Structure 1
Amino acid sequence: MKTRVLIGIAVTVVLAAAAVIYVVSVRTGGAQASGQVTLTGTRIIAKAGDGHLIAMSGGTREVSPMTCARVYAAGGTGVCLRQDGDLTTYQIAILDKNLSVTKEIPLVGVPNRARVSASGRMVAWTVFVTGDSYNGGQFSTRAGILDTKTDQLVGTLEDFDVTLDGEPYKAVDENFWGVTFAGDDNRFYATMSTAGKRYLIEGDLARNSVRTLRENVECPSLSPDGTRIAFKQAIDADPTKGWRLSVLNLQTNQVTELAEPHSVDDQAAWLDDHTIGYALPRDRGRADVWSVPADGSGVPAVLIPDADSPAALG
């Protein structure tokens, strides 16, 4: 046994117990506890013969003093989208593994999504904004990216060159959200909407460009092995009907609908190569983190009650 610090929370790790996955999340239960960053050691309690996870059990939750609207962590870097002190505005706080703030960036908008690349180098966020003339006073989205090694900041993906269905494209109503990074810290995937349609895009940071891959893919999340994308797809391509949690195989282009029957309005997170974690709202601002197998089998199960914004640390 040994004790280590993961994003500022000391936990005791049994080295022989490789079936423990630590999940960072935001607490939603109780007025005073709401928004606190927590760490839960979840244990694999059953596997199929092929090694696929079929059941998990949430363990003791460690609570930190950090509060966030959205949190994510990987590779020793954390990102916290939070209220800017007592102000009504928000900011991005970049965190080290001890939960110390290394950088703060003002946010123009309301926090919605957050991601960190597996290496910990790249950080992304999405916010809701109002005031775009084309949108009739409704919410639009802005997605930004920070290279924590060089401090290069992409304030909005709207400045990138777009290729739609193989042709150069430019429109005032382009919206981007839900970034997820590939292992090279250059390529990324995200959602772009324009002209009433939503697309999965693949981006290239070095070239400041994105290209569309397919329609009706929102809030992508790349698997640890880089072969699949978990996402929410609008039922009948109509978001008013809700979303179905699904997985896209990037090699075969095959989509598998997962066993979760409820509408999942979240950017899901991979807990390991075979398991998806996501939040479902419950009541009075509360939510629970659930897990479900990524191959369409099994049944969904509550992993962490009173929690939101999950991210697996391994």
Structure 2
Amino acid sequence: MLEVTTQGRGKKATYTFMIPDGFWRLILIPSMSFREWGAEYLNILIEGKGVHKAEGGILVKFSSEIMKELAEKYKQDYESVKSTCRRIRDVLKENGYISMDDPSVAKSHRVKSKKTGEWMTGTYALMKDAEARAEWKNFFDIKLAHYQLIMPDAKTVPNYLIAAEASRIYRSDMARWLDVAYYRVAKRTYVSDNMTADINFAKFTFLETLDMGIVRNELERRQEQYKRMMAERMEREKRRKELEKSQIPSLKERKALQAQITQAVQTTYRRTRGMTPEEQESWDKMIEMTVGSIATEVDEEE
């Protein structure tokens, strides 16, 4: 508690205390002592403060950038702040409180400067974000145009035909194309309705009952339920991927299909067929989703 005062003695005593800002959010993390930087880190996630909006686009920060700022603000060792924030993030993820898997999630194409080795911000960063988006669109547009030479009605390209090349672009080629030291995609973290509901439950239940035991027991029960739901969801996703993998043509068939495309490109070429506004919107979303799925965990800078 930030402040405790007492009036009277024994059973008739009255206690007044102040609950720190952020306590009701940090209570979601079991057995964790209150840390101002931990509470602020949660606040940044919940209120979307890791996304900087500017004229010309948005800049999504990596977790490492946020942790560095918190360490400087509270004059703490970076590794200590990182340990606190990573523990918070791990608990939130395992309970499904936060997510970056939504295809519509906001993304930033981030680059490191060759001169400073730091993640770029400001106008330069937004310019490189726009360049990266244009490069990805050009890549997918060309692939679709080539594929349509043998499949005229196709609206997308099978992932197994472009996955390896797209991964190589993400990990190495894009940095070279953009003339930067390093390139990665940062994805905004979104909080679930369960997280908001549990924070409100903890606060209002304690104020009504003054019994923290009731609050902690119920939060533990809910979080165990969330973990079970997460495990079931992951198992369904695993089965879906296994089914998808089983339907991929054999290596021999893929090579034959690629050879057919290559021959078609060498003999004729035409741009991606005209799309309706609805088809163009769907295509652009597919590009965003595919690039997002290629991206590694946002706070892993490899």
TM normalised by structure 1 equals: 0.23
